[in-house]
């Protein structure tokens, strides 16, 4: 019996890889640029590539395929116009993408994995564990098809949806090169933030790539006792090692790290936490982004009240720490990532 050769999703390929493929097929190199442009315009079929000869279109469809994600659900916030998409992937899994409108541009929050294995106590995305990592084209499609559906040009990306980007390192990096490519969506690295729960063993590898993106570290607690309780990824790594790695990363790349800090009532929001956080932020030369915790119905954790958040913030400022309180967008549409997917796909 003849084994059918497995076809490859062609949007996984960078222009230089497409060029090699063209050469192997005896085609001129410039075809790769034409194909890459079509793919980044959202063609659903090789037949739509009108400047590509018929024979080559046939040959392409023998080796490659194009998957167009389907919208399983779409929610639009009445308050601020934030849009949340639930996409159907080719194997039937689903991930969420959120489109937010800021003064500086349209920002998309993308998922990097189906589910997550990090087990943070406050996070809906991790409840069913990790199903699988996303391929580069699946992350690219989140951006591309959100742009196509919304008709809005996306200028900024945050890797803060479902999943841990550093647990899917190679695919995430390839996605970054794809989405940043001048002949593709051409989104500047400086407009991209990669968020991690602190997988410090990957920091060096990331720093070596010297990407101009912003590394966001989900700190959420400045001491091991508190952090171990809410973030299992801290166990065996520790806050001090994390802070040192952040400092090193800043030293190597010159890019200031941002500490994410979700304020949880009675857990990580005392004056003592604020004082210690100020010290750690200064050591790492980090900016602190305070977020009121989003409610997750499966968890008993609650956000700190507005007054506590303001006092906490004032303590950081009094120590000369660069801090901001993040505006809450999309609170009426299952704001925290993972919640919409859970509604549709019970693990
Ligand atoms: N795994 C990565 C990126 C995905 S989570 C990370 O941990 O950074 C994106 C951000 O949302 C992280 O800062 C995460 O801690 C935060 N987050 C998760 N659940 C939240 C909730 N219920 N309220 C507020 N922030 C939350």
Tens of pLDDT, residue by residue over 52-80, are 999 999 999 999 999 999 999 999 999 88
CA of 45 to the centre of ligand 1 (A): 36
User: 233-250 pLDDT, tens per residue?
Assistant: 999 999 999 999 999 999
> Which residue, by CA, sits nearest to atom 19 of ligand 1?
123
Which of 262, 290, 292, 327 is the pocket-test mutation for ligand 1 (most atoms within 8 Å of CB)?
A: 262
Share of the chain above pLDDT 70, in %: 95
CA of 177 to the centre of ligand 1 (A): 24
Please state, rounded to an integer, the average pLDDT across all residues of the chain: 94
Atom of ligand 1 nearest to the CA of 195: 8
Which of 158, 202, 218 is the pocket-test mutation for ligand 1 (most atoms within 8 Å of CB)?
A: 218
User: What is the 3 state secondary structure string of the chain?
Assistant: CCCCCCCEEHHHCCHHHHHHHHHHCCCCCHHHHHHHHHHCCCCCCHHHCCCCCHHHHHHHHHHEECCCCEEEEEEECCCCCCEEEEEECCCCCEEEEEEEEECCEEEEECCCEEECCCCCCCCHHHCCCEEEECCHHHHHHHHHHHHHHHCCCEEEEEECCCCCHHHHHHHHHHHHHHHHCCCCCCCCHHHEEEEECCCHHHHHHHHHHCCCCEEEEECCCCCHHHHHHHCHHHCCCCHHHHHHHHHHHHHHHCCCCEEEEEEECCCCCCHHHHHHHHHHHHHHCCEEEEEECCCCCCCCCCECCHHHHHHHHHHHHHCCCCEEECCCCCCCCCCCCCHHHHHHCCC
pLDDT at position 3 is 45
pLDDT at position 340 is 67
Active site residue 96: yes
Atom of ligand 1 nearest to the CA of 159: 3
pLDDT at position 1 is 41
pLDDT at position 326 is 86
**Spatial distance between the Cα atoms of 23 and 203, rounded to a whole number of angstroms:** 36
User: 191-227 pLDDT, tens per residue?
Assistant: 999 999 999 999 999 999 999 999 999 999 999 999 9
Classify strands 192-196 and 214-218 as parallel, antiparallel or unpaired.
Answer: parallel
**Spatial distance between the Cα atoms of 304 and 266, rounded to a whole number of angstroms:** 7
User: 264-276 pLDDT, tens per residue?
Assistant: 999 999 999 999 9
Q: How confident is the model at residue 341 (pLDDT cuts 50, 70, 90)?
A: confident
Mean pLDDT of the 161-180 span:
98
Mean pLDDT of the 104-118 span:
96
CA of 106 to the centre of ligand 1 (A): 20
Q: Which of 16, 17, 96, 116 is catalytic?
A: 96
The residues, ordered by sequence, that sit 6+ positions from 37 with a Cβ below 8 Å of its Cβ are 183
Active site residue 337: yes
- Window from 23-32, 173-182, 290-299, 335-344 with minimum mean pLDDT: 335-344
Atom of ligand 1 nearest to the CA of 295: 22
Pocket of ligand 1 (CB under 6 A): 118, 120, 122-123, 160, 164, 195-197, 218, 260, 262, 291, 293-294, 296, 336
Q: Are 58 and 134 in contact (CB under 8 A)?
A: no
CA of 266 to the centre of ligand 1 (A): 18
* pTM of the shown model: 0.95
Atom of ligand 1 nearest to the CA of 218: 13
pLDDT at position 2 is 43
User: 157-167 pLDDT, tens per residue?
Assistant: 999 999 999 99
């Amino acid at each position: 019996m003849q084994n059918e050769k497995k076809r490859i999703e062609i949007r996984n390929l960078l222009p230089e890889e497409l060029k090699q493929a063209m050469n192997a097929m005896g085609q001129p190199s410039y075809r790769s640029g034409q194909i890459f442009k079509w793919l980044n315009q959202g063609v659903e079929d090789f037949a739509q590539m009108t400047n590509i000869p018929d024979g080559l279109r046939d040959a392409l469809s023998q080796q490659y395929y194009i998957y167009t994600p389907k919208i399983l659900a779409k929610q639009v916030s009445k308050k601020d116009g934030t849009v949340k998409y639930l996409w159907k992937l080719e194997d039937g899994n689903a991930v969420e993408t959120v489109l937010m409108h800021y003064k500086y541009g349209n920002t998309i929050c993308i998922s990097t994995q189906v589910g997550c294995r990090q087990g943070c106590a406050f996070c809906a995305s991790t409840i069913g564990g990790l199903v699988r990592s996303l391929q580069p084209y699946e992350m690219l499609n989140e951006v591309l098809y959100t742009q196509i559906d919304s008709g809005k040009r996306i200028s900024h990306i945050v890797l803060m949806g479902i999943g841990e980007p550093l647990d899917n390192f190679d695919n995430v990096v390839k996605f970054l090169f794809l989405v940043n490519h001048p002949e593709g969506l051409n989104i500047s690295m400086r407009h991209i933030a990669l968020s991690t729960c602190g997988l410090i063993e990957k920091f060096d590898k990331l720093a070596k790539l010297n990407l101009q993106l912003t590394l966001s570290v989900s700190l959420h607690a400045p001491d091991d006792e508190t952090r171990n309780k809410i973030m299992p990824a801290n166990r065996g790594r520790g806050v001090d090692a994390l802070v040192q790695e952040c400092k090193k990363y800043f030293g190597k790349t010159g890019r200031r790290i941002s500490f994410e800090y979700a304020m949880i009532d009675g857990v990580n929001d005392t004056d003592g936490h604020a004082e210690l956080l100020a010290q750690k932020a200064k050591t790492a030369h980090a900016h602190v982004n305070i977020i009121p915790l989003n409610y997750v119905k499966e968890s008993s954790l609650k956000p700190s009240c507005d007054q506590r958040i303001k006092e906490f913030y004032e303590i950081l400022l009094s120590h000369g720490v660069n801090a901001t309180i993040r505006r809450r967008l999309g609170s009426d549409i299952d704001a925290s990532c993972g919640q919409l997917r859970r509604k549709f796909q019970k693990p």
